[in-house]
Structure 1
Amino acid sequence: MKNRRLLATTLAALLLIATGMALNEALTRAQVATAAEVLGIDFLNDEEIDQALPGLEDNRKTMLELGQADIPNELSPALVFSPVLRAEQLPADQTVSGPASAPDMLTVSQKEGSVHWLTVKQLGTVIKQRKISCRKLTELFLKRLKKHDPTLHCVITLTEERALKQADMLDAELAAGKYRGPLHGIPYGAKDLLAAKGYKTTWGAKPYENQTIDVDASVIEQLDEAGAILVAKLSMGALAWGDVWYGEKTRNPWNPETGSSGSSAGSASAVAAGLVPFAIGTETLGSIVSPSTVCGTTGLRPTFGRVSRHGAMALSWTMDKIGPITRSAADAGLVLSAIANYDPRDAHAIQAGFQYEWPAGNVKPGTRIGYYKSRMERDYAFHDQDSVALETLRELGYELVPIELPEEPDIRFVLNVEAAAAFESLTRSGQDDELTRQVRNAWPNAFRTAHFVPAVAYVQANRLRRQLMHDMDKVFEDNNIDVYVNPSWHSNSLLITNLTGQPCISVPNGMNAEGTPTSITFTGKLFGEQEMVNVAAAYQSASEWDGLHPQGF
């Protein structure tokens, strides 16, 4: 596929493909007319084409030179996206903190068969009370990862040496009276697009199977500081798409014959199977919500810019978000409070405070939350489970306010254009042929197709995106709500809020006819994660779906 080196990202480059012309041949009026038809351009007559030809020749030369430039994935564009429309959307307090500790009193069985199903909150108490050592807990989860990975294919690399060294250090600190907080000694896994010194970071893709990046991602640095212990780099769909990576397909613990969805495939699968107490995933357009739904975990997608992406693979600089996958909403808020520290190494990071408090459990009477009326009254896959969830929320004391979301513009190609730029070298070199999935909707074809989106269309799409942000802000303000409920899947809320930067949390709310989990999603205002977690935690305490576990694990 060496001829892909002739591709370029402008109208001039299109002509090379349409006509097969050589680089040293001049463009003709007929070739420009053909390319304009491909792009849907209807404002050029023959005289205007003649005027444009010299400029198109210049563009072709420039774009071909840009295509050969060595631009690393981690280099961010000069254009920076922020979801913030007005200053009052930012938290007044810029500090970031979490609860000092888990509850002081907790009775937990010390049988190995039960410890791995404890929540992070519960494990934090067990560690603090020194009922189990950091070393023993880490060994327990490493053992489980080794035992069940051959079934689930959720691990790319175990970080055993790093983990055991850190566990011993944390045990020594506890013995000396130093306690880092409720994540002290808690093992976790990270999606393998987060770099960790001394270990491969493969991005789930064959061309990067042996790649090492000699930094710790900002998220891993912050979790180290909080006392959490990285035990595994977990599988992800190749370049953050789906659940198929170069090693296998990551499996759903509820039905290992099926995939776990993606692209945070291994993170959700491992948490659902009790192989780690929590994991870190990422979302650009559903990659936390989707696998969390399929695997029955709790997935929290933070406000865009709240969590630094330094050291993470870039797919879409204006849409990528990093968040926790856990077994409870309370745990998700806790992990977020450890990774939400501002880091200027991410050019899109936003300095916003977050003082996380454990959800109280009780609901203040008359608390308003929205529900996406027209979508939730339709006949869709999870309708029955979602209807029961709405009734549960009413019984808890919430006032459910019907809302409607704005109609979303058809601009999802923004993601593909940015992804094609992030991996242009892969496309031009022909190494995209090494990716496992080669179907129409997989990355290789999406990257190539995105090269044909004009820069003008990309800018126009982002102007419409700004309008969508204003429209979503108005939904919250006009209805006087901080949170709304929406279907996790088959809902345009997922696309809209990934474009606008709103946070959401998905929690289990039932089982479908196939015996696998369903979920419902709570979506919040910008930087409204505490209110969102409070609602999700209250629902979980009343429904207890998060307490179910797949058999055989």
Structure 2
Amino acid sequence: MNEIDLAFSDAVTLGRDIARKRISSLELTKLYLARLERYGARFGAVVTILHERALREAKAADRALARGDRKSPLHGVPYGVKDLLAAVGAPTTWGAAPYRDRSFDFDGAVVEKLHAAGAVLVAKLAMVELAGAFGYNGADASFTGPGRTPWNREYWSGGSSSGPGAAVAAGLVGFAIGSETNGSILTPSAMCGVSGLRPTFGRVSRYGAMALMWSSDKLGPMARSARDTLAILRIVAGSDPRDDSTRAEPMFAPKKKPRVAVIVGARKQTQAAVVKNFDDSLAAIADAVTIADEVKLPDLPYGATIGALLNGESAAAFRGLIESGKARELQSPDDRIGGYVQYETRAVDYVDAMRRRREIVDAVGKTIAPYDALLFPTLPTVAYPIGTPFDKVYPDAPGAVDPVTPGNLCGLPSMSVPNGFGEHHLPTGFGMMANPWRERELVALAAHFQARTAFHTMRPPGVE
């Protein structure tokens, strides 16, 4: 296998190749370090490359394997984390200029678990500043510059996990860890053409991760195949006394023939190619599922509810930054003022939103309960052009429904896998959402789709 094929192999394959000694972890790590140096800045994907730590961990992984101590299926596989996770050996910047020199002397829980599993941390990956806390309205919202999808550098890689999406798509890491509060794993997964899994709220510890909206923040894998995401999740999942939202719930086995439904309105006000790719995706899985009638999400104020909650919680999380005046050092003009607007959030608005959230959780839970998954196009459009404000892009395709916000308010697991290309030959995503703790259901469905299609194996041009 040549170096390019190695770089674009999925993580499970890489772990197997290392175990069979077809390549050493050190050799693979050096390959990814070189690719990070060559392509990382080109796609706005990297904050810090951890040469010293990566080489040390790779050598340790090879020594352990020589002793017969293979710690996990991802033993020796290099990976990157979104730069809101603490990791010894590099700054943890949160994508924001005021924090670009700030470091922690400990690893976040996810980094700890991956280290114990023998994986090799090679990079802190770029992100939208403060994970989009203050309402950015354009791609240039990080001190590292805009994230760029490797499929066309003039278009955004999505946010706020912009670096993980671009780095996985460009073959710069074996896999990555992103985060989602309201779309930050699913969006870059769709825009970059990778497989992203947003776990159930409480599945993965957030210890050592930046808080944006503590009642909705989730960490999850972004990778080159659906099966990778499950392999990663098995390692990082579990309860943690340092994050009292976590629970040690089982990973339920998927059903042989799950019952699924399409969300009503999922095709409306959506780009034609996105709709076609979605319909083709349904056809690809038709033999493996029972597709029920379309299901309508309850008509509830999802956007207003998450907006009020995010305003209150992010203002509290970044109170020091706001009160110090350093928010004015942020990259995005919207972010320089957005924190001060959030700071004025009224307590009654926050409390009312918490009450509405309870109604939403109950109503959406009853809607999805009869099904094993609800299906939808991940996004109504392809990636946004860099330089155009988000509220000005694709005015004819705003999407008639938003499945992402209800899922995040309810803490439900969701997934996006690549399912074709649309305008400007940019990737589109096949979205799916399940009941709590049913991540394996999603991965099995996505893996079935990927066994019948090749979109997840396709490589962007110009990254050989």
Normalised by the length of structure 1, the TM-score is 0.76
Q: Which residue of 2 aligns with 1:451?
A: 343
Q: In 1, distance between residues paired with 2:205 and 2:37?
A: 30
Q: Which residue of 2 aligns with 1:414?
A: 309
Q: In 2, distance between residues paired with 1:153 and 1:377?
A: 32
1:220 and 2:111 correspond: yes
For residue 396 of structure 1, report the CA deviation from its aligned partner: 3.8
The one-letter code sitting in structure 2 at the alignment partner of 1:278 is: F
Q: In 1, distance between residues paired with 2:311 and 2:224?
A: 32
Q: CA RMSD in A?
A: 1.6
Q: In 2, distance between residues paired with 1:377 and 1:283?
A: 24
For residue 258 of structure 1, report the CA deviation from its aligned partner: 2.2
1:125 and 2:20 correspond: no
Q: In 2, distance between residues paired with 1:348 and 1:328?
A: 28
Contact 1:121-1:331 at 8 Å conserved across structures: yes
Decide which of 401, 415, 418 is 1:508's aligned counterpart: 418
Q: Which residue of 1 aligns with 2:324?
A: 429
Q: In 2, distance between residues paired with 1:205 and 1:182?
A: 34
Contact 1:394-1:400 at 8 Å conserved across structures: no
The one-letter code sitting in structure 2 at the alignment partner of 1:532 is: L
**Higher gyration radius (CA):** 1
Q: In 2, distance between residues paired with 1:195 and 1:274?
A: 23
1:402 and 2:300 correspond: no
Q: Which residue of 2 aligns with 1:8?
A: none
Equivalent position SS for 2:429: strand
Q: In 1, distance between residues paired with 2:338 and 2:436?
A: 30
Q: In 2, distance between residues paired with 1:152 and 1:380?
A: 27
For residue 251 of structure 1, report the CA deviation from its aligned partner: 1.4
The one-letter code sitting in structure 2 at the alignment partner of 1:461 is: A
1:198 and 2:108 correspond: no
The one-letter code sitting in structure 2 at the alignment partner of 1:404 is: K
Equivalent position SS for 1:456: helix
Contact 1:426-1:432 at 8 Å conserved across structures: yes
For residue 487 of structure 1, report the CA deviation from its aligned partner: 2.2
Mapping for residues 492-507 of structure 1, pairs under 5 Å: 492-507=402-417
Q: In 2, distance between residues paired with 1:129 and 1:297?
A: 26
1:524 and 2:414 correspond: no
The one-letter code sitting in structure 2 at the alignment partner of 1:149 is: G
1:209 and 2:110 correspond: no
1:342 and 2:239 correspond: yes
Equivalent position SS for 1:403: coil
Q: In 2, distance between residues paired with 1:178 and 1:474?
A: 46
Mapping for residues 15-94 of structure 1, pairs under 5 Å: none
Q: In 2, distance between residues paired with 1:303 and 1:159?
A: 30
1:262 and 2:159 correspond: yes
Mapping for residues 140-155 of structure 1, pairs under 5 Å: 140-155=31-46
Q: Which residue of 1 aligns with 2:212?
A: 315
Q: Which residue of 2 aligns with 1:97?
A: none
Query: Could you give the per-residue CA deviations for residues 443-478 of structure 1, whole angstroms, max 9, x where no partner exists?
Result: 33332222332211211111110111111111123x
For residue 123 of structure 1, report the CA deviation from its aligned partner: 0.9
The one-letter code sitting in structure 2 at the alignment partner of 1:246 is: F
For residue 274 of structure 1, report the CA deviation from its aligned partner: 0.5
Equivalent position SS for 2:196: strand
Contact 2:46-2:125 at 8 Å conserved across structures: yes
Q: Which residue of 2 aligns with 1:277?
A: 174
For residue 150 of structure 1, report the CA deviation from its aligned partner: 3.1
Q: Which residue of 2 aligns with 1:182?
A: 73
Query: Could you give the per-residue CA deviations for residues 171-192 of structure 1, whole angstroms, max 9, x where no partner exists?
Result: 1111111111211000000000
Q: Which residue of 1 aligns with 2:333?
A: 438
For residue 377 of structure 1, report the CA deviation from its aligned partner: 4.0
Equivalent position SS for 1:402: coil
For residue 378 of structure 1, report the CA deviation from its aligned partner: 1.8
Equivalent position SS for 1:303: coil
Cα separation, partners in 2 of 1:201 and 1:172, compared to 1, 3 Å: same
Stretch of structure 1 that moved more, 280-289 or 536-545? 536-545
Q: In 2, distance between residues paired with 1:499 and 1:540?
A: 28
Query: Could you give the per-residue CA deviations for residues 125-148 of structure 1, whole angstroms, max 9, x where no partner exists?
Result: 101111111110111111111111
Contact 1:252-1:258 at 8 Å conserved across structures: yes
Q: In 2, distance between residues paired with 1:400 and 1:537?
A: 20
Equivalent position SS for 1:509: strand
Q: Which residue of 2 aligns with 1:22?
A: none
1:326 and 2:236 correspond: no
Query: Could you give the per-residue CA deviations for residues 278-312 of structure 1, whole angstroms, max 9, x where no partner exists?
Result: 00000111111111111101111100111000000
Contact 1:260-1:291 at 8 Å conserved across structures: yes
Q: In 1, distance between residues paired with 2:91 and 2:407?
A: 32
Contact 2:328-2:337 at 8 Å conserved across structures: no
Unaligned stretches of 5+ residues in structure 1: 1-108
Q: In 1, distance between residues paired with 2:9 and 2:183?
A: 27
The one-letter code sitting in structure 2 at the alignment partner of 1:485 is: L
Q: In 2, distance between residues paired with 1:519 and 1:198?
A: 35
Contact 1:408-1:492 at 8 Å conserved across structures: no
1:303 and 2:195 correspond: no
Q: In 1, distance between residues paired with 2:128 and 2:256?
A: 42
Equivalent position SS for 2:131: coil
Q: Which residue of 2 aligns with 1:138?
A: 29
Q: In 2, distance between residues paired with 1:529 and 1:171?
A: 31
The one-letter code sitting in structure 2 at the alignment partner of 1:482 is: D
Stretch of structure 1 that moved more, 301-310 or 486-495? 486-495
For residue 369 of structure 1, report the CA deviation from its aligned partner: 0.9
1:473 and 2:368 correspond: no
Q: Which residue of 2 aligns with 1:486?
A: 376
Decide which of 448, 451, 460 is 2:352's aligned counterpart: 460
Q: In 2, distance between residues paired with 1:397 and 1:494?
A: 22
Contact 2:251-2:438 at 8 Å conserved across structures: no
The one-letter code sitting in structure 2 at the alignment partner of 1:517 is: P
Contact 1:469-1:500 at 8 Å conserved across structures: yes
For residue 193 of structure 1, report the CA deviation from its aligned partner: 0.4
Query: Could you give the per-residue CA deviations for residues 406-433 of structure 1, whole angstroms, max 9, x where no partner exists?
Result: 1232212211211111111111111011
Q: Which residue of 2 aligns with 1:252?
A: 149
The one-letter code sitting in structure 2 at the alignment partner of 1:216 is: D
Q: Which residue of 2 aligns with 1:30?
A: none
Normalised by the length of structure 2, the TM-score is 0.90
Contact 1:408-1:496 at 8 Å conserved across structures: no
Query: Could you give the per-residue CA deviations for residues 177-231 of structure 1, whole angstroms, max 9, x where no partner exists?
Result: 1111211000000000000113100111000010011110000000001111000
Percent of residue pairs bearing the same amino acid type? 39
Contact 2:46-2:123 at 8 Å conserved across structures: yes
For residue 543 of structure 1, report the CA deviation from its aligned partner: 2.1
Q: In 2, distance between residues paired with 1:544 and 1:165?
A: 35
Equivalent position SS for 2:436: coil
